[in-house]
Structure 1
Amino acid sequence: MIGSAMAQNAAGDPGPVIDVHMHAGEFASGGMPMCPNADRFLASDPADGPEAPFGWSKEDCTPRLYPAAKGQYMPEVLAEMKRLNVTGVFFGDPAEVKKWQAAAPERVIPGTAFKSVTTPDQADQLKRLEVSFTKDGFKVMGEIGLQYEGISPSDMRAEPYFALAEKLDIPVAIHMGTGGSGRSNVSRSTFRGSMGNPLLLEDLLARHPKLRVQVMHAGYPMAENMLTLLQANSHVYVDIAGLIWSYPRKEVNRYIQRLVEGGFGDRVMYGTDQLLWPGLMAYSIGIIQNADYLTPEQKRDILYNNAARFLRIKK
């Protein structure tokens, strides 16, 4: 039902869209088909042999999303962006991001970040980032994946990077919340759900009062803590990337609705976490376009206006 409605809407004029959470690179090799918004996550037992890294239930679905063939991911995603009038913030290694920017400069907003706070090359990472933001035109520091290392965003080991972002007036995009698709214990043992608590950002924000922060995945599923952070910090926005397709549809809509009805409809930004399936963008835009709890104005805010404000894009 949602797939056909999405296709009909996307075929019309959805207006300009900003996807604030995309990934540069070629991820199609070895990729698997995916049923978006699977309705449950499966338990696993180590006694049964090798455990799958993803816990989504293996159900039939329409539409089923397929990865691009090897070498076709970039052209297929860029074609979708043109068809759907999407501009995207791309994260990744600077060289990879620049390839996407060269292919579609009018569609790509470049972003990059440090790889880890536990490696000894902090000085080199800081130097590279400063060059990226001051000379190479990069616009966002992200994706910052401290949660995957089991580290709080307010950990002082990350302080020099956030200090640089505030000094250069660069917004930061921090992974907080969803991760592992029910199997972080299998796929990423250093991941800590507790490090996705949005309130862990408070000390960081107190040290850097001018820092603009994009909470990736909207701190899911900690809605109350996310709302607490939003009401205390007017420079904090959330993106709904990843969340929008990797959890049951009713749950996704309930979470977005909670943020909007909590009074923060002007801080919710659309995103996909695009990294495998070219059809994901049209599908996830359809989730917003068909949300009956959102007004047309709120849909436009989520799909474009809020991100344009956060990124300071002139309309």
Structure 2
Amino acid sequence: MRVTLTLLAGMALAGSGSASAQNTSSEVAPIIDVHMHAMDDAPWATPVCPNQARFEASDPKNGPEASFGWSKEECSPKLYPAPKGEYMKMVLAEMERLNVRGVVFGEPDQVKKWQAASPARVIPGTSFGRVAGSDSAKQLKMLEVAFGKDGFKVMGEIGLQYEGISPSDMRADQYFALAEKLDIPVAIHMGTGGSGRANVAMPTFRGSMGDPLLLEDLLARHPKLRVQVMHAGYPMIDNMLTLLQANSHVYVDIAGLIWSYPRKEVNRYIERMVDAGFGDRVMYGTDQLAWPGLMAYSIGLIQNADYLSQEQKRDILYNNASRFLRLEQPK
């Protein structure tokens, strides 16, 4: 029997195979989700099992191949996409219920729609599109308006990896120079892209362009640039730690990673960063794309992490992002 999204988001998902959702109350401690997406609907979305145990191999002879390589395992809970036309309303309702503010990325007009619907919850973000063969003057003008008159706060999501381009490629440098000039943090996709992403769905995607150390030349050119490494550069943990050690204004988000890989692996990756001394630079995020129940589920993974202290959990769920975004004092 299908569990409704409202019920799913409010369930106490206790036990070894699940995580508990946050309590609903006006006294719920605030949370910041640094990685969300503004959209109306996601017609491509299907019900998913979070933290799947495996990614399946495929044979090009048998096609069509699944674009994310997820297995067909049964699970509880299962996350369902929002009904047509209900996505924004349902996600904003979850943000209100769970006391979440979110950095919402997308086209400026779409993000403004979300911000108008919930100005207290939505922190607006937008970015340039493709750099290969693009009209850079037009894109720069759009960004200048967005981060000037329109009050956008974060430049992201920057998806150079999907073009097979390094973040230090000079074709993108003018956009990063603008962000440094305006003192706007940038959020760059690095790492995870889904099983089979390059050979099935996006032939220009390159896993190697998600190496966190590719940021070094960019950071050397723009030493005041604040960088959010999306997906924490997964799975390149050693290089991620090397970059964090060398650059103290680089933060990571655990969005996407937190729910789309096996739970043991997710916890091990987060624990490595915290144990290495970088617990003050790990930020919570969902990579919210289609499933409103995803927020409660992924918050529960942090709340139930027995390797984190209460102070470390609050840092990940709120304090680190508040500092990175320069919002207010930690709570």
**TM class by shorter-chain length?**
over 0.9
Partner Cα distance (1:313, 1:96) in 2: 23
- Matched length: 315
Residues 233-272 of structure 1: matches in 2 within 5 Å?
233-272=247-286
Aligned equivalents of 2:72, 2:247: Cα separation in 1: 40
SS at match of 1:69: coil
Unpaired stretches in structure 1, ≥5 consecutive residues? none
Give the superposition deviation at 1:2.
7.8
Match of 2:227 in 1: 213
Structure-2-length-normalised TM-score: 0.93
Counterpart of 2:8 in structure 1 is none
- The answer to whether the 8 Å contact 1:41/1:182 transfers is no
SS of residue in 2 equivalent to 1:47 = coil
* Aligned partner of 1:70 among 76, 79, 84: 84
In the alignment, what sits opposite 2:120?
Answer: 106
For 1:256 and 1:182, the matched residues in 2 are separated by 24
TM-score, structure 1 normalization: 0.97
Over aligned residues, Cα RMSD in angstroms?
Answer: 1.4
Q: Aligned match of 1:4 in 7, 14, 17?
A: 14
Q: Percent identity of the aligned residues?
A: 76
5 Å-filtered alignment, 1:1-315, equals: 3-4=13-14, 6-7=19-20, 9-11=22-24, 14-315=28-329
Q: Which runs of 4+ in 1 moved over 6 A?
A: none
Q: Which moved more, 1:237-246 or 1:4-13?
A: 4-13
Distance 1:198 1:20 in 2: 19
Deviation of 1:8 after TM superposition, in Å, equals 5.6
Separation in 1, partners of 2:269, 2:292: 25
Contact 1:180–1:187, Cα closer than 8 Å, also in 2: no
Runs (5+) with no aligned partner, structure 2: 1-10
Q: Deviation per CA, 1:126-163, whole angstroms, max 9, x where unpaired? A: 01100100110000000000000000000000000000
Contact in 2 for aligned 1:29/1:69 (Cα 8 Å) = no
Change (3 A) 1:8 1:219: closer
Deviations 1:79-130 (A, max 9, x none): 0000000000000000000000000000000000000111331001001100
